[in-house]
Structure 1
Amino acid sequence: MNNSSPAPSQSPSPAPLPDRCEVLVVGAGPAGAATARAAALAGHDVLLVDMQDFPRDKTCGDGLTPRAVHALSRAGALDLLDGRPTLGGLALHGFGGSVHAPWPDHGAFPTRGTAIPRTTLDAALRDRALAAGARGATGWKAVSVQLGDAAASGTPVESVTFRAGHGARQTTRTVACRFLVLAEGVRSGIARQLGVQWLRGLVHGVAARSYCTTPFGADPWIHSHLELRDADGVAQPGYGWIFPLGDGVNLGCGALSTTRHPAKVNVKKLLVSYADDQRDSWQLGTPERVTSALLPMGGAVSRVAGVNWAAVGDTAALVNPLNGEGIDYALESGLDLAALLPDAARSPRGLADVWPAHLRERYGDAFSLARRLATLLTMPGLLAAVGPLGLRGPLAPQVMGAAARLMGNLVTPEDRDLTARVWLGAGKLSVGHDRFWHPESRPLFGR
């Protein structure tokens, strides 16, 4: 298996930044790269800046659902999946049962999932953005934003200050911009300066990931284990995943957490126990490159836009609470934002209203319902009580088939089948409940 991270080139003196640009994208992951490429192709002067050199790693399951494959196609990058495994659906295990749920035959999405290491995917997407005409720079950390004069339409961002190097070799540079795109993730310092606050009281994820060798790396299913036990055999409130990569697997585990029901589990230790449990059936090697991360979910941030700035991808907490996937939303949000820039340039309020409204329309109902369901799963003992019904009951194939569709977010507003009608209707009820009963804690995608 060859999933070792290529050593990034550590430039002692990164290339200097320009004084100004039209569209400044901070963060060159999938969300930032998709925004930069689409904006550059539309004729904008784009600067794509990241604090790390590429290729670089990120804690991730590496899996792509059909929705993510579709988003890659929209981004003009479907060829990146040539030679990658074809994953036909979810194989769900636990509580004495197993169910294989193929991806639904949905006209809006392909029936193929796959997996590709983030070191490869992110570097390739960044290269596509640069090839489309965006300028790129690495090794610069965004440390502060400078605001213009307040007006009736709001206070715009005038420039961003970046820092590179350490000690005597430290240098700073300020770049003026017309639009600023925040794509660094939820821990972005400049996002916090602009009021993007992670609402930790809502559900979020804690996850660990590794790579393992196996002779079964070409298995055609994404495997998810809903019953995990630690080294002492005690059931833990988490789930495990195995994504076949062709020459090995990405193996990891995660847990859902809220302030009321925090995840009291060491996910790195749980990953080791999970690998031990699966070792014989998969003939696994020792887990390598184990990393962990906190994961914001379901739009759980307080603000996502101002007059001339907007948050995309993880910075806007665009992660599915039911499966932890964010690559599809990262690509979609980047492409959608780039398409809105011309309208924002002509509007007195710019992006301040149109971007939150777009995210609410596109994701609001589904995220509200998914947050509510994920929060229920954090309740001790609930999954153990309902899991056997879903995985061993007489309707298990039908129930898990619907679950695979919902976990992959493969429902569109145009769908009219029973599963879609129930899901879409429940989403609207969930949003109404949020607005009426919990206005102080609901994520608003901006006020």
Structure 2
Amino acid sequence: MSSVTPTRTEVLVVGAGPAGSGAAAWAARLGSDVVLADAAVFPRDKTCGDGLTPRAIGELERLGLRDWVRAHTVNQGLRAHGFGQTLHLPWPGGSLPDWGSAVARTELDDHLRTTAIKAGATGIDGVRAVDVRRESGRVRAVTFTQGGRSASRSFEIECERLVVADGVRSPLGKVLGREWHRETVYGVAGRCYVASSTHADDPWISSHLELRNERREVLSGYGWIFPLGRDAGGVNLGVGTLATAKRPADVAIKPLMSLYADQRRAEFGLGEELRMPTSALLPMGGAVSNVAGRNWALIGDAAACVNPLNGEGIDYGLETGRLLAELLAEDPDADLATVWPALLRDHYGESFSIARRLAGLVTVPRLLPALGPIGMRSDLLMTLALRWMGNLVTDEDRDRAARVWRWAGRRSLAREARPLFG
């Protein structure tokens, strides 16, 4: 970390989560002068399930972090529970790695930020981006504040290009005009850490697709238990539900999380204490507009690059950070206002469109209790569901399941009332 705050840079990245640190690492490796700024002081926590799907593992391998990740827990797939059934569904492999992991965000994000700094980025933390200075339709500088109310100072960092990776709320994105459209499905989720005497080193991540409230009603969501490894001594436990503006989530997340832990305590050897419980709202599936301007762009959670079917965002954060860095290196003068939304739609449009349409159906009352038992009785259907729900389909995949998913995505995308990312 630099002891002197830079006053100007070629690429300014605001937000040092997976998206921002990934973008900063790639931009620095591709030859740009980069500053990576974050409001928090690292290491810091982040509300997240901590799961790393094969899609995320693939991006971490690109960054050269395979051995580091494998030194943590390694899992081989999903154990799906629900409606009287338990299925073990291995990761499908194909063009993606055939393994997954889970690393607490306190550690993952700090390591990714360090990776960016080692690549050549200048890191500054504890500074909050609050405004921008524009000239001739371009962002010329970002205004930051540092310190508490009684002793704060403000300063500017000038930049040629601005990358906004400040998370689901995206305060700087709002300054730039970002708008979240809640008529499409969004997530409400919470997580905590719990000691486990039996499953801390489990080779499977667990998902309970039959999530019930205190009245035993099936909710439009799922609970999860992700082992963090023997050294961590516990699991990431959480719950998530889906909602839309028409059908908002009528749940209190932290009490639901406590209820879920009670329901699973004996089976998973869970301790009594739920440590560090947090919750968040998740815009999903490109349900935001104004994601870019002439020389600035939103990536990761800030651009609603979150899977509508499982709430996963780390993989898309890493991907969008790399894609934007490559775009800036290939064409430094690109008008991001048009190029970046088009690239996001080309890369994610089909999968996000069909995924959020399917996720929206889950919010319809009584649909999940009717269809859930049918799906859970079929290993084939659930294997397909794992691959589709996890978006474990790439452009390189040519098998029938991949072709069906892309076919459905194209038809769904053609029926969108509002363009994704626009």
Aligned residue number for residue 399 of structure 1:
381
Aligned residue number for residue 92 of structure 1:
80
Q: 1:410 aligns with which of 381, 392, 403?
A: 392
SS at match of 2:124: strand
SS at match of 1:163: strand
Contact persistence 2:19–2:317 (CA under 8 A): yes
SS at match of 2:167: coil
Q: 1:226 aligns with which of 209, 221, 238?
A: 209
Aligned residue number for residue 406 of structure 2:
424
| CA deviations over 1:331-372 (Å, ceiling 9, x no partner) | 01101111111343234xx22222111111110010000010
Give, in angstroms, the shift of residue 186 of structure 1.
3.0
Q: Could you tell me which amino acid in structure 2 is paired with residue 376 of structure 1?
A: L
Aligned residue number for residue 291 of structure 2:
304
SS at match of 1:18: coil
Q: Could you tell me which amino acid in structure 1 is paired with residue 271 of structure 2?
A: G
Aligned residue number for residue 71 of structure 2:
83
Contact persistence 2:30–2:329 (CA under 8 A): no
Structure 1: 5+ residue stretches without partners? 1-13, 150-154
Contact persistence 1:301–1:443 (CA under 8 A): no
Distance 1:263 1:177 in 2: 41
| TM-score between both structures, scaled by the size of structure 2 | 0.96
Contact persistence 2:27–2:329 (CA under 8 A): no
**Aligned ranges 1:245-284 → 2 under 5 Å:** 245-246=228-229, 247-284=233-270
Distance 2:93 2:25 in 1: 30
| CA deviations over 1:30-54 (Å, ceiling 9, x no partner) | 1000111111111211000000000
Aligned residue number for residue 52 of structure 1:
40
Where has structure 1 moved over 4 Å in runs of 4 or more?
Answer: none
Give, in angstroms, the shift of residue 443 of structure 1.
4.2
SS at match of 2:129: strand
| CA deviations over 1:227-279 (Å, ceiling 9, x no partner) | 12233434333310010111211110000010011110111111111000001
Quick check: 1:317 aligned with 2:300? no
Aligned residue number for residue 295 of structure 1:
282
Distance 2:155 2:419 in 1: 34
Identity of matched residues, %: 53
Contact persistence 2:38–2:126 (CA under 8 A): yes
Contact persistence 2:168–2:281 (CA under 8 A): no
Contact persistence 1:75–1:331 (CA under 8 A): no
Quick check: 1:387 aligned with 2:372? yes
Give, in angstroms, the shift of residue 15 of structure 1.
5.2
| TM-score between both structures, scaled by the size of structure 1 | 0.90
Aligned residue number for residue 179 of structure 2:
197
Distance 2:263 2:150 in 1: 50
Aligned residue number for residue 212 of structure 1:
194
**Aligned ranges 1:17-32 → 2 under 5 Å:** 17-32=5-20
Quick check: 1:357 aligned with 2:342? yes
SS at match of 1:318: coil
Aligned residue number for residue 135 of structure 2:
148
Residue 369 to residue 169, structure 1, CA distance change in 2 (3 Å) = same
Quick check: 1:377 aligned with 2:359? no
Aligned residue pairs, count = 416
Distance 1:188 1:351 in 2: 18
Distance 1:207 1:39 in 2: 32
Contact persistence 1:17–1:173 (CA under 8 A): no
Contact persistence 1:141–1:162 (CA under 8 A): yes
Q: 2:22 aligns with which of 31, 34, 51?
A: 34
Distance 1:346 1:170 in 2: 36
Contact persistence 1:21–1:45 (CA under 8 A): yes
| CA deviations over 1:205-236 (Å, ceiling 9, x no partner) | 00010111112211111111011223343433
Contact persistence 1:228–1:238 (CA under 8 A): yes
Distance 2:382 2:74 in 1: 20
Give, in angstroms, the shift of residue 413 of structure 1.
2.8
| CA deviations over 1:157-196 (Å, ceiling 9, x no partner) | 0110001122331100011100000000132222112121
Distance 2:260 2:80 in 1: 15
Distance 1:385 1:234 in 2: 13
Give, in angstroms, the shift of residue 97 of structure 1.
1.2
Q: 2:324 aligns with which of 307, 317, 337?
A: 337
Structure 2: 5+ residue stretches without partners? none
Q: Could you tell me which amino acid in structure 2 is paired with residue 239 of structure 1?
A: Y
Across the aligned residues of Structure 1 and Structure 2, the Cα RMSD in angstroms comes to: 1.4
Aligned residue number for residue 4 of structure 1:
none
